[in-house]
Amino acid sequence: MQEALFHDLRIGEEVVNLTKSTISKGQLVRYAGASGDFNPLHTDDETARKAGFDGVVAHGMLIMGFLTQAATTWMPKRFLKKINVRFKAVTRAGDTITVTMKVTEKQIQENIGRIVCSIEAVDQNKQAKANGTVEMHVPL
């Protein structure tokens, strides 16, 4: 990111709009293997139904990964200093998640451009699944 880009950013400006592919049961099984989280709520419909869900639910950390991916498609990951996330609702197989980020703060501190953005993941029905903030430090 160049200094001109930092100075061109406006509070309230949407800087990321990333729509992921529809979440599949196969993706949840693969994520279980990659993360080591084999809770059957994420892979077995019957277990999920017994727990009160309509079917399997996505891992919260998968959604957190989508948020982080969105942030680091906008800025290199070396600039990411902090991400705070609050989960709002479960995500199910069949949901399509869109992540948006908007600039909420920007300031220069010791020749570093500090940018804070709000971040939100919503499904195809605009139901919030997770939201929070991202802080980036970019050299000027």
pLDDT at 3 over 60: no
Q: Which pLDDT belongs to residue 89?
A: 97
What confidence tens digit (pLDDT) does each residue in 76-134 have? 999 999 999 999 999 999 999 999 999 999 999 998 999 999 999 999 999 999 999 99
Q: Which residues contact 59 (CB under 8 A, 6 or more apart)?
A: 28, 31, 32, 35, 37, 42
Number of structural domains found in the chain: 1
Q: Identify the CATH number of the domain in which residue 110 sits.
A: 3.10.129.10
Q: Which pLDDT belongs to residue 23?
A: 98
Amino acid at residue number 55 = G
pTM given for the model? 0.92
What confidence tens digit (pLDDT) does each residue in 12-24 have? 999 999 999 999 9
Domain extent, residue 108, equals 3-22+60-139
Residue 15 lies in a domain: yes
Residue 110 lies in a domain: yes
